[in-house]
Amino acid sequence: MISLLRLCSAIIIFSVSLAWAQAIPEEDYEKWNTLAVRAETVLSEDRASEAAYDDLRSQIVEWRETFLNGQSTNQLRLDTLRSQLSALPAAPEEGTDPVAERRKELNDQIAELNAPNIRSLEAYNRADGIIREIDKRILERRTSTILKLGPTPLAPVAWLHTVETLVKSFNLITSEIITAVGTDSVKSDLKSKSPAIGLVLIIFFAIFFWATRMARRVSQAVAAYSTSQVINGFVVDLVVLVLRIVAIQLLMNMVISLPIFGLRGRLLLSMVPDWITILLLANFLSSRLFTGIGSVYALPNANAIMRYFQLGALVLILNDIGARLIEFQSGGDDVIAVWTFMSTLIAAFVLWRFLVVLKSDLMRATIGAGNLSILVAKLVYRFSILVAFAAPVLAAIGFSNGADALIFPTYLTLALVGVVVILQSLVIQIYATLLGKSEDVADGLLPILFGFVIVLGAIPALALIWGARVANLTEVWTKFQDGISLGGTKISPLDFITFVVIFTIGYSVTRLIQAAMRGTVLPKTKMDVGAQNAIVSGLGYVGIFLAAMAAISSTGLDLSSLAIVAGALSVGIGFGLQNIVSNFVSGIILLIERPVSEGDWIEVGGQMGYVRDISVRSTRIETFDRTDVIVPNADLVSGVVTNWTRGNKVGRLIVPVGVAYGTDTRKVEAILLEIAKNQPMALLDPPPSVVFQGFGADSLNFDVRLVLRDVNFMNVVKTEVNHQIAERFMAEGIEIPFAQRDIYIKNLEDLRKDVQ
């Protein structure tokens, strides 16, 4: 509790400090103006490098943040003055204003206190404009570089220059090593460091080759909490990856510290850990996706796919090595074009072979998967095939930078897709383990949401792969934090979170009150079930409406500008959804007036059954055939409804009976009346009666009329009455007639002749 109070106090103090933020000093504005003028000059001359632009941009971003905070100077006092001003009566159109002096005084105070904010806003807009201009300038440079047409790599002379450049660069590195090793000081230094070198080598081999054994021990510890092969396999591969990266880094730090390498050798060796990490990551991805324990896909050609993963990593490493060797010798455009063409051609061939091997197996593995998974797999495959054919062609024409910016980001994109798939599978298994569910939970709501979050998290990495700068991502995040304009008000992420939290609280409180009313309060009253449901439903609609209004008000959203749009929409909705609105209003009438309640036996529109549920749109009736009939509420309000059990369950039963002509009608009446009076469900007030209806075509017709205390037993009583009538009539010798017909053929002789 004390920690919570401290947190609340800190938040309040922080908010107040922002509201009473001090104005930016004048000397800071002078410093900013100097920097802004320098930035505008650099942009107009356009001679700065990209690194210089980035450095300048970072300085301006800091100033922009300062000016953004400076816009909240004296905010609390300004809010108070504005509320005072709004409390004054409106100025009259004619005559003197009795509060004109006070109005002017408040406006002057507002203008004076708001002046620092206006100046900060002006400086903020200037800084923001310079930042946008720098970003545009860098983007234009990168675009022109990618689209630049250089020399073709197909010229034989260019190949000779490339070979010479690579050989010279390699010879320089080896000569640096040979020269250094030949000196006595280096020899003595190596001799003195030999024990440390041996120790580092022992540690390296111990970690590198015992990593799998260590990982299995960790996996055994994890197996005590989870039996999932996906989790255990991921832990094993991850531990092996981390330990081997640590071992490589340890070894290379030792090698770089040796005094036998020159500047070029050290620069090249500093990249070795990154290159080996790429190779280890390729093994990790292939193991988790295809070949390892608990891999995502079990494919027939998994080993071949793993080899192409390793080849792809080697292509990336080879391309980087060649580029750095050429950079050491300041190779010309023709050398760069040849090397780019070679590496692009090899990379495209490896990518094409990888896709050919993967296509059939992966399509077979996605059978039964969702349509989205199949669509994504097809799109990635087609795009990669297109890149595999387009990149070498571009490199051969002379668009070396374009080919390089196309083929290798595709490699990294495929690796990123693999990482996303691995993480989604891992999250699903962790979710299943924590909840103790079966592994087949991929279609659950939470796993899908987790997967969506993982995909969103991969979007910034994808943008960086395809050339976006970190500054671009931070700029997008800054704009996102600033919010979007809606209804004249800016909605920031914090406002959205506030809206969600307040609405969730209001919704939860509403459901809690509904549950308390339904389960505790209303059952103790004398209201019937329909009235109780009406009150609970009404509380639900009112509570959700109030929660939505409170959440919207908390964001400061002004909905007055949306009133006209809302009015037009309401008219359109009224015409388009008039039947639904009619049923909704009818449902409210049913819940309030309650001509029909749950449990009633009704007949409407030729359908008869028990009312099981009354909602605001329709009513559910369960027929005697145990089928549900959904009746719109408008039919119950505007149509004719027969309610057999409204108010009470008393109802009348009529049993028709026919006897043969010649039977004593008085005797029949006495027998039927005796049977009716002996029925336990029949009321004695009014008493049962027998009505002699008349003379039918085949019988004398009687009706046995009983008023039952529970009309739900109508068919049971009717069956019992018919049984007793049949038994008594048989005992008394009374005949129950049935229809008989005599047929006379007038022209029988003529028919006989025709037959003969």
Q: Domain map of the chain by residue range?
A: 18-87+105-146, 194-260, 289-478, 493-557, 578-643, 651-732
pLDDT at 19: 40
Of 32-41, 389-398, 421-430, 440-449, the one with minimum mean pLDDT is 440-449
Q: State whether the Cα torsion 94-98-101-105 is positive or negative.
A: negative
Mean pLDDT of the 532-542 span: 80
| Reported confidence tier of residue 393, pLDDT bands at 50, 70, 90 | very high
Q: Is 90 exceeded by the pLDDT of residue 416?
A: yes
Highest mean pLDDT among 8-17, 643-652, 717-726: 717-726
pLDDT at 3 over 60: no
Inform me whether the pLDDT recorded for 224 exceeds 60.
yes
pLDDT of residue 365: 52
Q: Output DSSP code: residue 615.
A: -
Instruction: Give yes or no for a contact between 345 and 382, defined as CB atoms under 8 angstroms apart.
Output: no
Beta bridge pairs of residue 708 = 651, 682
- pLDDT for res 530: 63
User: Longest Cα pair distance anywhere in the chain, in angstroms?
Assistant: 149
pLDDT for the residue 127: 92
pLDDT at 11: 41
Which tens digits make up the pLDDT trace of 352-365? Answer: 988 888 876 665 55
Is it the case that residue 325 has pLDDT exceeding 80? yes
Structure-model confidence comparison of residues 410 and 738, the more confident one = 410
Q: What mean pLDDT comes out for the span 728-736?
A: 89
Residue 746 pLDDT > 50, yes or no?
A: yes
- The mean per-residue pLDDT over the stretch 417-425 comes to 89
pLDDT at 633: 79
Non-local CB neighbours of 725 within 8 Å, separated by 6+ positions: 655, 657, 671, 672, 675, 704
- The whole-number pLDDT of residue 20 equals 41
CA distances 481 to 60, 63, 491, 497, Å, are: 18, 17, 9, 12
Residue 13 pLDDT class (50, 70, 90 cuts): very low
Which CATH number applies to 578-643: 3.90.1300.10, 2.60.40.10, 2.60.40.1730, 2.30.30.60? 2.30.30.60
Higher pLDDT, 90 or 751: 90
How are strands ordered across the β-sheet holding 618-623? 628-632, 618-623, 607-614, 601-604, 641-643
pLDDT category at 368 given cuts 50, 70, 90 is very low
The larger pLDDT score, comparing residue 644 to residue 279, is at 279
Is pLDDT above 70 for 259? Answer: yes
Q: The tokens of 261 are what?
A: 């390498």
Q: How confident is the model at residue 577 (pLDDT cuts 50, 70, 90)?
A: low
> Of the CATH numbers 3.30.70.100, 3.30.360.10, 1.10.3720.10, 3.10.510.20, which one belongs to the domain with range 651-732?
3.30.70.100
Q: According to the model, what pLDDT value does residue 482 have?
A: 73
Asked if residue 588 lies in contact with residue 633, where contact means CB atoms within 8 angstroms, the answer is no
Question: Which pLDDT does position 532 carry in this prediction?
Answer: 75
Q: What are phi and psi of 111, to 5 degrees?
A: -65, -40
For residue 368, which of 300, 297, 428 has the smallest C-alpha distance? 297
Contacts of 173 (CB under 8 A, 6+ apart): 262, 264, 265, 268, 328
Question: CB-side exposure of 164: number of CA atoms within 13 Å?
Answer: 11
CB 415 within 8 A of CB 464: no
**C-alpha–C-alpha distance, residues 152 and 333, integer Å:** 9
What share of the chain has pLDDT > 70, as a percent?
A: 86
Name the phi and psi angles at 555, rounded to 5.
Answer: -85, -10
194 vs 726, more confident: 726
Euclidean distance between CA atoms 287 and 240, whole angstroms = 12
pLDDT class for 193, splitting at 50, 70, 90? confident
Question: What is the mean predicted confidence (pLDDT) over 294-311?
Answer: 82
The per-residue pLDDT for 18 is 41
Three-state SS across 573-605?
HHHHCHHHHHHHHHHHHHHHHCCCCCCCEEEEC
Lowest mean pLDDT among 312-316, 568-572, 608-612: 568-572
What number is the average pLDDT over the span 663-682?
Answer: 90
**Which one-letter amino acid corresponds to residue 639?**
G
Higher-pLDDT residue of 184, 345: 345
- Encode pLDDT of 578-605 as tens digits: 677 677 777 777 766 678 878 788 888 8
Q: How confident is the model at residue 485 (pLDDT cuts 50, 70, 90)?
A: low
Which pLDDT does position 489 carry in this prediction?
61
Residue 505 CA to residue 106 CA, distance in Å, equals 39
Nearest to 128 by CA among 187, 75, 65: 65
**Residue 478 pLDDT level (bands cut at 50, 70, 90):** confident
Please state, for a pLDDT cut of 90, what percent of the chain lies above it.
20
Range with the poorest average pLDDT among 22-36, 290-304, 671-685: 290-304
